[in-house]
């Protein structure tokens, strides 16, 4: 299993390739706000662990293993954003909250959150009932 840091790189590389068709060290460094030398070290490690193929000065491509992990990591991130939005977390907190929790949840927990999202979205009355409870709780806090 990749470390949380490796996951961040794989996720970002996957997104760059999906959106731009390629991922260069400079693009990865910019998107993760790290130095290119740090990216090069991590890319070499990811290459060694068979998540990608890296050729110096030629770029990199994800292996099937890397694509599978990248796709799953993007799904996890998107699902957690969707869940927090659905339960009424303020928009300005969502990205930072997801970044803070995504590496600390098991895939079992992620799957259960997916079930909750599905449950809430299947019937808008469930979402309305949740919002009503939140409004009542907000009034009680004032």
pLDDT for 139: 84
**Which pTM value belongs to this model?**
0.88
Instruction: Quote the tokens at residue 122.
Output: 């299947």
pLDDT for 115: 97
Integer Cα distance of 44 and 66 in angstroms: 13
Rounded to 5, what percent of the chain is helix, strand, coil?
A: 75, 5, 20
Tell me the pLDDT tens digit for each residue of 101-112: 999 999 999 999
**Which residues does the annotation place in the binding site?**
8, 11, 77, 99, 102-103
Tell me the pLDDT tens digit for each residue of 55-80: 877 789 999 999 999 999 999 999 99
Assess contact for 62 and 21: CB atoms under 8 A: no
Distance from the first to the final alpha carbon of the chain: 46
The answer, yes or no, to whether residue 122 has pLDDT greater than 80, is: yes
**Which residues does the annotation place in the binding site for Mn(2+)?**
8, 11, 77, 99, 102-103
């Amino acid at each position: 299993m990749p470390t949380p840091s490796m996951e961040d790189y794989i996720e970002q590389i996957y997104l760059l390739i999906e959106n731009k068709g390629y991922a260069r060290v400079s693009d990865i460094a910019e998107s993760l706000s790290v130095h290119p030398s740090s990216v090069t070290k991590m890319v070499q490690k990811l290459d060694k662990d068979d998540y990608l193929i890296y050729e110096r000065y030629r770029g990199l491509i994800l292996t099937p293993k890397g694509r599978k992990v990248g796709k799953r990591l993007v799904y996890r991130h998107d699902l957690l954003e969707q869940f927090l939005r659905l339960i009424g977390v303020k928009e300005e907190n969502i990205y930072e909250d997801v970044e803070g929790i995504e590496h600390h949840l098991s895939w079992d927990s992620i799957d259960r959150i997916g079930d909750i999202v599905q449950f809430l979205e299947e019937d808008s009355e469930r979402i309305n009932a949740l919002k009503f409870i939140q409004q009542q709780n907000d009034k009680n806090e004032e």
